[in-house]
């Protein structure tokens, strides 16, 4: 290969790599990703919450165990779900289905679905590409609120049940590549 062709090949490869790096940097969040303001916004509009749990031995199939319509109960659940901001290099996604599943509605229109994972993290379907770790002082509060709203303890992933992972990600959770 002539020296000119080699120089052109190296320059082209450098431009491609630089372009890929720039595309990655532009796609990454500029700093910590904090969903708490968006959570507050969605819960402020919420008039009804359906609480669902996984059916025994049936993957991805949920059954309704309770419906929350009282504004005070909606507020109690909202206050019990506070999460730590995620850094771009600490994204993860739990591989379990999540149990329970919370469906938030405004009137008859579903706003979103939130899954609770092992009493430690939440997944927010359609909102974020990462799961978020619950703030430590709200984990027990969330378990207590869910129990008061009819979530059967035997199926919940409350702290201390189902051998929750020490910290995500674990064998059952996967990190975002990078």
- Output the pTM of the full model: 0.67
Q: What is the pLDDT of residues 14-38, one digit of tens each?
A: 878 777 655 655 555 555 678 888 8
The owner of tokens 């008061």 is 148
Q: What are the DSSP calls for 53-75, one per residue?
A: EEPTT-TT-EEEEEEE--HHHHH
Q: State phi, psi for 10 to the nearest 5 degrees.
A: -65, -45
Q: What is the pLDDT of residues 128-141, one digit of tens each?
A: 777 888 888 888 89
Integer Cα distance of 10 and 12 in angstroms: 5
> Is the Cβ–Cβ distance between 100 and 52 less than 8 Å?
yes
């Amino acid at each position: 290969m002539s020296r000119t062709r080699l120089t052109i090949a190296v320059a082209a490869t450098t431009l491609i790599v630089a372009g890929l790096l720039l595309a990655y940097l532009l796609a990454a969040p500029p700093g910590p990703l904090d969903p708490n303001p968006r959570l507050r916004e969605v819960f402020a509009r919420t008039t009804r919450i359906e609480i669902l749990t996984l059916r025994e031995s049936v993957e991805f199939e949920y059954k309704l165990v309770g419906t929350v319509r009282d504004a005070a109960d909606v507020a109690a659940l909202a206050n019990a779900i506070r999460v730590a901001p995620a850094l771009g290099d600490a994204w993860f996604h739990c591989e379990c289905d999540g149990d329970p599943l919370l469906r938030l509605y405004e009137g008859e229109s579903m706003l979103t679905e939130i899954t609770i994972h092992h009493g430690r993290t939440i997944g927010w379907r359609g909102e974020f590409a990462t799961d978020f770790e619950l703030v430590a002082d709200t984990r027990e509060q969330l378990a207590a609120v869910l129990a008061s709203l009819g979530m059967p303890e035997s199926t919940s992933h409350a702290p201390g049940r189902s051998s929750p992972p020490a910290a995500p990600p674990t064998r059952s959770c996967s990190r975002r590549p990078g």
